[in-house]
Amino acid sequence: MNYHLAKSIAIPLTFGVLIFVTGCSHEGNADQQPSQNKSQNQSGNSQLASPNSQLAGSNSNQQTAKNSSPYTDRKRQTTNLQCNNAVINQAYQAKNPSVKRQVLGCGTVIKVLKDDNEGSRHQKFLVKIDNYPNITVLIAHNIDLAPRIEGIETKNPIRFYGEYIYNDKGGVVHWTHRDPASRHQDGWLEYQGQQYH
């Protein structure tokens, strides 16, 4: 008879926020004493809620860390994380422009717009959010602080990490670059295997 062991781990995030991740690991035969199983496989598979948090002490997560190439800057994100478009959908459904959310999203470029050259220069394009066809966001990428995406074309996939703000057209994602003053979470764009931050 087999059983599973649920294991919760508290992960500290920025601004004193904690998340709890619960993983489930196969522990072998239920007839054995639990203390005998502790030396066996205790890997739990969980998706992290934040791109800058990692689980410690898990064999599978240690392997993932070895196989990925994380950034050295603690504020930047790893590229092996899953998009979480549900967060964008929740913010969109709430329809509250005063709430800003840090999001990791994926979508398809549907229109490349003219650069905004007033004040800080921004490269702008529209992205249809994967799995939520009714949501289109404007990406406003600061090209005074980060390299522009040369040759960006419609119908191509893009990943982004930045700050989402709702508007009645779907919303805008900005802060897709490093913050040289270190006052805001760094962001990035990923297009055709290259990151722009």
Q: What are the residue ranges of helices labelled H in 19-115?
A: 34-37, 59-67, 85-94
Among residues 170, 181, 109, the alpha carbon closest in space to that of 145 is found at 181
How far are the Cα atoms of 9, 33, 36, 110 from residue 39, in angstroms, in the given order? Answer: 19, 12, 7, 52
Is residue 42 domain-shared with residue 90, that is, in the same domain? Answer: no
What confidence tens digit (pLDDT) does each residue in 62-92 have? Answer: 333 333 333 333 334 445 578 999 999 999 9
Is residue 95 domain-shared with residue 190, that is, in the same domain? Answer: yes
Is residue 111 domain-shared with residue 178, that is, in the same domain? Answer: yes
Give the number of domains in the chain. Answer: 2
Is residue 93 domain-shared with residue 189, that is, in the same domain? Answer: yes
74 domain-assigned: no
pTM here? 0.61
No. of helices (H) and no. of strands (E), the chain: 3, 9
What confidence tens digit (pLDDT) does each residue in 108-157 have? Answer: 999 999 999 999 999 999 999 999 999 999 999 999 999 999 999 999 99
Is residue 134 domain-shared with residue 187, that is, in the same domain? Answer: yes
Is residue 29 domain-shared with residue 90, that is, in the same domain? Answer: no
Residue 173 is part of a domain; what is its CATH number? Answer: 2.40.50
Q: Which helix (H) or strand (E) holds 17?
A: none
73 domain-assigned: no
Domain that holds residue 138: 85-196
Is residue 101 domain-shared with residue 58, that is, in the same domain? Answer: no
136 domain-assigned: yes
Q: Who has greater pLDDT, 91 or 27?
A: 91
What confidence tens digit (pLDDT) does each residue in 7-24 have? Answer: 444 444 444 444 444 444
58 domain-assigned: yes
Domain edge (last residue) among 34, 67, 100: 67
Domain edge (last residue) among 67, 99, 116: 67
